[in-house]
Amino acid sequence: MEGFESVSGRRDTYHDHWIGGYHFIFLGTERGLERFASLSETQLAWLDEKLGEDAATGKPTFVFLHQPLKNTVAGSLEHQAWFGVEEDEALRSVLLKHPQTLLFTGHTHWHLDSPHTMHRADERGPVMFNTASVAYLWNDDDAYVQGSQGYYVEIYGDRVRVRGRNFAEGSWLAAADFEVGTNLKGL
């Protein structure tokens, strides 16, 4: 974790910030693993507490983690093998209690035209997004794709719009244009 500290100036790999009245939570591995994230019980309890504080507001909470949960977003399906949270079930359990959560994960580099770019297990669960990559992309044929993609996130009074963008071509991606209602409490 010395590399993280030297680059970021932070000792903690997880932290939160409020921006414009919205809560942004950043999770991070606590052990230097090559492909997987390792989240301590302390970090998971902290996340549960933070998300619990947000539940009554009805506003979305934006959570970020490099690695996705298994069998959720593009690239994280078991046969694709790019999932990577050692405490997958524990993190999933915390997130399922908080439907106001929008989880953004990377790691897979799967392009935004892929199936499973957005995942929601059911209408009560959190929404998860594959964030692609601004450096290079990957596809369902297990092949490299040149490009640069990511999201613009627009927050309105009644919804959040997550819009896929092809940065290399300067165009919007119709297959990655999602809306999530913001009145998320009690779903």
Q: Average of pLDDT values for 39-68?
A: 95
Mapping DSSP to helix (H, G, I), strand (E, B) and coil, where does residue 56 land? helix
pLDDT score, position 93: 95
CA distance 159 to 38: 32
CA distance 128 to 120: 6
The residue extents of the domains of the chain are 2-181
CA distance 40 to 31: 9
Running DSSP on this structure, what letter comes out for residue 110? B
Q: State how far the alpha carbon of 109 is from the alpha carbons of 18, 68, 99, 172, in Å.
A: 27, 11, 25, 18
Q: How much is the mean pLDDT over the chain?
A: 90
pLDDT score, position 31: 84
pLDDT score, position 89: 96
Compare 161 and 55 and report the one with higher pLDDT: 161
* pLDDT tens for each residue of 21-38: 999 999 999 987 667 899
Mapping DSSP to helix (H, G, I), strand (E, B) and coil, where does residue 73 land? coil
78 CB-near residues (< 8 Å, 6+ apart) = 70, 71
Q: Which of 7-11, 75-79, 90-94, 121-125 is predicted with the least confidence, judged by mean pLDDT? A: 7-11
pLDDT at 1 over 70: no
pLDDT at 8 over 70: no
pLDDT score, position 35: 76
pLDDT at 162 over 70: yes
CA angle 124, 35, 11 (to 5 degrees): 85
> Which of these CATH numbers, 3.60.21.10, 3.40.190.10, 2.30.30.240, 2.30.30.90, describes 2-181?
3.60.21.10
pLDDT at 187 over 50: no
Q: What is the pTM for the complete model shown?
A: 0.90
pLDDT at 58 over 50: yes
